[in-house]
């Protein structure tokens, strides 16, 4: 008795125990779901010890979390009426009273820097004492702000469009915790909504903490949408093919338990729910249904053949178990390659996906035969789909193409390869924190608003280490920093920079009685007495803390980026680095570019460099499985070609339709390759069986294998196509692209495996189909009983 015969006897003789064990483990995983955590930070795609991460961690150690700014904006001329103007400033004050807020900066908080000649120090005075009561008073405040205080330009206002901005700095301790979510949804949004209702003003809201909160909520909302959508679409397709409520119910039972396990594993392993891990539950539905197709299809074929239920259930396990195990292992291998990438985000995705794929196979193998054993055998009407006329026509067409039109198949293949290569060279690489965010949502439109008005919302930081205490306040250092500022201002993709340089310029302006034309760095002669005023001023301490560390050794230059891709960012970084290298000698200074946006962009480049490794590893792993199963090097080459072709088509489509390579679309190739190889395994397993049964009559074996596996391959490919297509209803651009591209790739993979693979087998029949080349498999993919029938 072989292994799978023993497995079938074990399952069917202990069916009550099987169901109890599944129920017990499911109950355990349900208890683990409470440990699921949602990600409150951006995905870090780089290894922890990567140079870019090291530099960013150094910046955080010195200045703390930089992504703690929420900004409110208004572009409405009526805001400059007393009632609305005061209400706008009162909004900031009301937020400032909350524990979750460090401080706010609005027009009401503006302090004018003035020089006290007697005490030889700078003092801070409010922009206005009492709330303006008339329009003239408001206009006077506006004039003071716009014309005489350039320090606040692009910080609190846009002079050209008269757009106002208020900065809300979140407590750094809570910015990456669940408290941030509660603050946004329970305090910030209701407060803004009430303000809008009372004033009729439209408040724009943005900033990384706000965007991340709404984005995380979108991910949570879409998990339910994906799971429900995948269940519905696969159930409908399954019922359309099988016309059986029982078969559909059993399949839904399997995948529902599989989804429960998926959520349970996320909690059990302590992983966070991110954009990628959120895809796993619906992914399990999509991959689990084909397992059910093969198992239920085989059960119904056996019932139709001999009508004995016990024998049919035993044969389902023995005949389909091994082939289905191998196909699930190859699919899991496609995902498991991410385990070897150093990115924690992808590693967790790879572990969860491969673990759940094997789990859904085990569930299908245990539940489907066990549940059917408690039911009456299918009625003849439930078996009608096995002889459906339209499906017969599809199989006949495929056989005719392979038999008579192989030259046309090859010509089409070559043409597709050429087009694919042309498209491949047009693919661009892109990486942005907000590129994949829902374009139709209000917060995305607000992002674009702040990009237009203030130059962006994604912080880019430059950390300057002068290598000595108080080195920042040297005039030579400030002048070097000014050179960087000038370079930053030359980029339309970056906002005006903010640094200690701005404050020193403001100090000179204050020294010269607030005259805006003196808003510039002091000369060497002016330096000593202006800096003497600064040293005597207590009020400047708080302002300095934002730009310089307590020792005076480190300074930061902060700018904000628009939503740009890696190609533009590389050019910007290169030009900035040239200025840095020129102005800051390595012996005296250490300067690094950092910030969340840059870390993410560098992470994208890192993933791209690992894409070839990941995909190559998937191909090698799956080739090893094929070699182990079929023990023929030539067969490996023949089988890999039809599965590489769809990947080339996908790459070509990405180039022609300007779908960039980015963290979300990187997954397409490994996922699609791992799944598409399943069809190849099923076809070659049947082909080898037919070769033995037909005494190595190649043509007869190819056509028999095509007719036998064509129906199941067609069914599963259609299920997979529509299953992955459900991801296109997402509001995330990357998820839409992932769903659409994988769907198209798998459709092409089906056509390739049903037309190109049999054509290659027939063309190279003399070289590959003989007993010396096509040896006995290392494992029995199809039991001997069926091979000898």
Identify the CATH number of the domain in which residue 784 sits.
1.20.1640.10
Separation in Å, CA 189 to CA 104, 105, 178, 198: 16, 18, 16, 14
What percentage of the chain has pLDDT greater than the value 90?
21
Q: Is residue 777 predicted with pLDDT exceeding 60?
A: no
- Domain-terminating residue out of 365, 387, 409: 387
Q: Confirm if 286 and 674 have CB atoms less than 8 A apart.
A: no
700 within domain boundaries: yes
Identify the residue with better confidence: 777 or 3. 3
- The string of pLDDT tens digits covering residues 156-165 is 888 889 999 9
Tell me if residue 410 falls in helix, strand or coil.
helix
C-alpha 52/C-alpha 57 separation (Å) is: 9
Q: Output the six-digit token pair for 328.
A: 């699930």
User: Which residue from 312, 295, 315 is spatially nearest to 361, judged by alpha carbons?
Assistant: 295
Q: Which residue has the tokens 């390659």?
A: 337
Identify the residue with better confidence: 779 or 745. 745
Q: What pLDDT, on the 0 to 100 scale, is given for residue 421? A: 92
Cβ burial of 777 (10 Å; 0-12, 13-18, 19+) is middle
Q: What pLDDT, on the 0 to 100 scale, is given for residue 36? A: 83
- Bridge partners of 459, per DSSP, are 560
- Domain-terminating residue out of 334, 364, 387: 387
Distance separating the N- and C-terminal Cα atoms of the chain: 17
Q: Are residues 337 and 293 in the same domain?
A: yes
Q: What pLDDT, on the 0 to 100 scale, is given for residue 786? A: 47
Instruction: Tell me which of 45-59, 422-436, 546-560 is least confident.
Output: 422-436
Q: Are residues 261 and 408 in the same domain?
A: no
Other Cβ atoms closer than 10 A to 440:
7
pLDDT band at 307 (very low <50, low <70, confident <90, very high): confident
648 within domain boundaries: yes
pLDDT band at 538 (very low <50, low <70, confident <90, very high): low
Q: Confirm if 313 and 299 have CB atoms less than 8 A apart.
A: yes
Q: Are residues 645 and 730 in the same domain?
A: yes
**Residues composing the chain:** 789
- The string of pLDDT tens digits covering residues 123-155 is 888 888 888 899 999 999 889 888 888 888 888
Q: Are residues 260 and 312 in the same domain?
A: yes
Q: Are residues 677 and 741 in the same domain?
A: yes
Task: State the average pLDDT over residues 660-685.
Answer: 77
Q: What pLDDT, on the 0 to 100 scale, is given for residue 701? A: 82
612 within domain boundaries: no
Q: Are residues 721 and 752 in the same domain?
A: yes
User: Which residue from 539, 464, 434 is spatially nearest to 215, judged by alpha carbons?
Assistant: 434
260 within domain boundaries: yes
Other Cβ atoms closer than 10 A to 400:
10
Q: Are residues 702 and 757 in the same domain?
A: yes
- Domain-terminating residue out of 387, 409, 434: 387
Other Cβ atoms closer than 10 A to 21:
12
Phi and psi for 190 in degrees, rounded to 5? -60, -40
Q: Are residues 409 and 337 in the same domain?
A: no
- The string of pLDDT tens digits covering residues 457-501 is 888 899 999 999 888 889 999 999 999 999 999 988 888 999 999
Q: What pLDDT, on the 0 to 100 scale, is given for residue 189? A: 92
Tell me if residue 679 falls in helix, strand or coil.
helix
Domain range for 680 is 392-425+631-789
- Bridge partners of 555, per DSSP, are 464, 548
Q: Are residues 369 and 338 in the same domain?
A: yes
Q: Where is 105: in which H helix or E strand?
A: strand 101-105
C-alpha 156/C-alpha 139 separation (Å) is: 16
333 within domain boundaries: yes
Q: Are residues 301 and 357 in the same domain?
A: yes
Top mean-pLDDT range of 31-40, 335-344, 508-517, 779-788: 508-517
Tell me what the pLDDT averaged over the chain comes to: 83
60 within domain boundaries: no
pLDDT band at 556 (very low <50, low <70, confident <90, very high): very high
Q: Are residues 396 and 375 in the same domain?
A: no
Task: State the average pLDDT over residues 270-288.
Answer: 82
Q: Are residues 657 and 697 in the same domain?
A: yes
719 within domain boundaries: yes
Q: Confirm if 595 and 461 have CB atoms less than 8 A apart.
A: yes
Other Cβ atoms closer than 10 A to 781:
21
- The string of pLDDT tens digits covering residues 358-391 is 999 999 999 999 998 888 887 776 666 666 677 7
Q: Is residue 540 predicted with pLDDT exceeding 50?
A: no
Q: What pLDDT, on the 0 to 100 scale, is given for residue 787? A: 44
Top mean-pLDDT range of 106-115, 163-172, 291-300: 163-172
Number of domains in the chain: 2
Q: Confirm if 534 and 478 have CB atoms less than 8 A apart.
A: no
- The string of pLDDT tens digits covering residues 178-230 is 888 889 989 999 999 999 999 999 999 998 888 888 877 887 788 788 888 88
- The string of pLDDT tens digits covering residues 601-642 is 787 777 777 767 777 777 787 777 777 766 667 777 777 888
C-alpha 137/C-alpha 96 separation (Å) is: 25
319 within domain boundaries: yes
């Amino acid at each position: 008795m072989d292994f799978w015969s023993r497995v079938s006897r074990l399952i069917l003789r202990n069916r009550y125990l099987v169901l109890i064990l599944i129920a017990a483990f499911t109950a355990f995983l349900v208890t683990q779901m409470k440990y699921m955590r949602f990600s409150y930070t951006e995905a870090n795609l780089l290894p922890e010890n990567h140079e870019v991460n090291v530099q960013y961690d150094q910046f955080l150690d010195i200045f703390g979390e930089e992504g703690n700014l929420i900004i409110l904006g208004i572009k409405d001329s009526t805001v400059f009426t007393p009632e609305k103007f005061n209400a706008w400033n009162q909004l900031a004050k009301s937020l400032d009273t909350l524990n979750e807020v460090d401080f706010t900066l609005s027009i009401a908080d503006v302090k004018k820097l003035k020089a006290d000649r007697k005490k030889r120090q700078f003092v801070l005075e409010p922009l206005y004492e009492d709330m303006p009561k008339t329009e003239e008073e408001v206009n006077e405040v506006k004039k003071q702000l716009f014309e005489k205080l350039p320090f606040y330009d692009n910080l609190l206002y846009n002079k050209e469009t008269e757009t106002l901005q208020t900065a809300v700095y979140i407590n750094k301790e809570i910015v990456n915790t669940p408290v941030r979510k509660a603050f946004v949804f329970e305090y910030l949004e209701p407060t803004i909504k009430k303000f809008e209702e009372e004033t009729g003003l439209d408040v724009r809201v943005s900033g990384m903490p706000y965007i991340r909160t709404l984005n995380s909520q979108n991910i949570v909302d879409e998990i339910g949408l994906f799971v429900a959508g995948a269940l519905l679409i696969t159930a409908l397709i399954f019922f359309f093919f099988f016309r059986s409520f029982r078969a559909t119910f059993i399949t839904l039972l399997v995948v529902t338990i599989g989804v429960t396990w998926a959520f349970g594993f996320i909690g059990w392993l302590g992983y966070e729910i991110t954009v990628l891990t959120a895809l796993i539950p619906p992914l399990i539905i999509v991959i689990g249904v084909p397992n059910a197709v093969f198992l239920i299809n085989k059960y119904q074929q056996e019932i139709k053949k001999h009508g004995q239920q016990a024998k049919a259930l035993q044969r389902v396990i023995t005949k389909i178990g091994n082939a289905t195990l191998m196909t699930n292992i190859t699919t899991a291998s496609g995902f498991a390659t991410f385990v070897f990438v150093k990115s924690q985000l992808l590693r967790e995705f790879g572990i969860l996906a491969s673990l759940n794929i094997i789990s859904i196979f085990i569930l299908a193998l245990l539940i489907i035969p066990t549940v059917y054993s408690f039911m009456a055998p299918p009625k003849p009407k439930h078996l009608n789909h096995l002889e459906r006329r339209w499906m017969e026509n599809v199989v006949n067409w495929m056989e005719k193409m392979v038999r008579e039109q192989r030259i046309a198949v090859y010509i089409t293949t070559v043409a597709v390869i050429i087009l694919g290569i042309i498209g491949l060279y047009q693919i661009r690489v892109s990486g942005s924190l907000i590129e994949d965010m829902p374009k139709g949502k209000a917060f995305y439109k607000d992002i674009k608003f702040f990009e237009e008005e203030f130059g962006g919302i994604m912080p880019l930081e430059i950390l300057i280490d002068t290598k000595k205490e108080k080195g920042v306040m040297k005039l030579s250092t400030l002048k070097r920093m000014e050179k960087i500022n000038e370079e930053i201002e030359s980029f339309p993709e970056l906002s005006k920079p903010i640094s200690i340089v701005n404050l020193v310029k403001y100090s000179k302006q204050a020294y010269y009685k607030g005259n805006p034309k003196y808003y510039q760095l002091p000369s060497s002669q002016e330096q000593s007495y202006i800096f003497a005023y600064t040293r005597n001023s207590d009020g400047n301490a708080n302002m300095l803390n934002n730009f310089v560390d307590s020792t005076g050794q480190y300074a930061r230059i902060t700018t904000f980026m628009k939503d740009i891709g890696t190609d533009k960012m590389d050019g910007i970084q290169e030009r900035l680095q040239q200025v840095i290298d020129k102005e800051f000698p390595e012996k005296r200074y250490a300067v690094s570019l950092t910030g969340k946006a840059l870390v993410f962009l560098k992470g994208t480049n890192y993933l791209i460099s690992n894409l070839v490794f990941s995909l190559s590893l998937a191909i090698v792993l799956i080739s090893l499985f094929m070699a182990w199963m079929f023990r023929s090097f030539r067969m490996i080459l023949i089988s890999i070609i039809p599965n590489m072709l769809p990947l080339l088509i996908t790459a070509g489509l990405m180039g022609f339709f300007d779908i960039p390579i980015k963290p979300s679309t990187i997954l397409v190739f490994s996922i699609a390759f791992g799944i598409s190889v399943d069809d190849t395994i099923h076809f070659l397993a049947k082909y080898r069986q037919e070769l033995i049964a037909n005494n190595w009559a190649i043509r007869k074996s190819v056509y028999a294998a095509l007719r036998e596996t064509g129906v199941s391959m067609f069914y599963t490919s259609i299920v997979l196509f529509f299953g992955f297509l459900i991801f296109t209803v997402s509001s995330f651009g990357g998820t839409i692209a992932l769903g659409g591209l994988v769907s198209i790739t798998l459709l092409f993979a089906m056509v390739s495996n049903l037309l190109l693979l049999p054509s290659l087998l027939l063309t190279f029949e003399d070289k590959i189909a003989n007993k010396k080349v096509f040896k006995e498999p290392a494992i029995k993919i199809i039991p001997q009983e069926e091979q000898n029938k």
